[in-house]
Amino acid sequence: NAGVTQTPKFRVLKTGQSMTLLCAQDMNHEYMYWYRQDPGMGLRLIHYSVGEGTTAKGEVPDGYNVSRLKKQNFLLGLESAAPSQTSVYFCASSLTGYSNQPQHFGDGTRLSIL
């Protein structure tokens, strides 16, 4: 099993450009999450999904959209990138919310907005 795979690993965008970050998991997990990590602020939840076709807002959802069309994939979109969205983005997944199983993280995507 590859676990949680994020693509791309690095990306540089100009302000106003759009892009999509892809998260894929092969563990048959129901729940998936997108976090951003900024220096000195830990991990903050952007959006999450508790199953195929469902999404919900986390702590810092503004400026982002997500989709979960397939159980194994969770996409994070930036429609009009802003310098404040420069960050490291981590995707995570877990079996369910009741399974006593931890959240497993991907390797992250380092995104710079110029």
Partner 1 sequence: GENVEQHPSTLSVQEGDSAVIKCTYSDSASNYFPWYKQELGKRPQLIIDIRSNVGEKKDQRIAVTLNKTAKHFSLHITETQPEDSAVYFCAAGRMDSSYKLIFGSGTRLLVRP
Residues in contact with partner 1 by the rule CB under 8 A = 31, 33, 35, 40-45, 48, 50, 56, 58-59, 90, 94, 96-98, 100, 102-108
Task: Give residues with Cβ within 8 angstroms of 110, minimum separation 6.
Answer: 9, 10, 11, 88
> Which residue, 1 or 97, has its beta carbon nearer to partner 1?
97
Output the smallest distance, CB 72 to partner 1, in A.
18
* Helix H or strand E encompassing 36: strand 31-37
Closer to partner 1 by Cβ: residue 17 or 104: 104
DSSP state of 87: E
d(CA 48, CA 108): 16
Nearer to partner 1 (CB atom), residue 26 or residue 59? 59
